[in-house]
Amino acid sequence: MGFAELSIADIATEYNIEHQAVFELCDRFKINYKNERTCLALEDAKTIIMEILATQTNSEV
């Protein structure tokens, strides 16, 4: 599995959410991390981003 060049901090910044929200998503999807500088595996990053986008889309409706 390849690694995305995205850390938890990068995702939080890109989608304007708190680091804690990304940690909670990692916990929910059983994605291991150490801290906000942890780079995520490509599939894990995609899972987190898709969930963030789905949540943002649902809150706009």
What is the reported pLDDT for 1? 62
Per-residue model confidence as pLDDT tens digits over 21-39: 999 999 999 999 999 999 9
Fold classified for 3-60? Arc Repressor Mutant, subunit A (1.10.10)
Task: Output the DSSP codes for the chain.
Answer: --EEEEEHHHHHHHTT--HHHHHHHHHHTT---SSTTPEEEHHHHHHHHHHHHHHHHHHH-
41-58 pLDDT, tens digit per residue, is 999 999 999 999 999 887
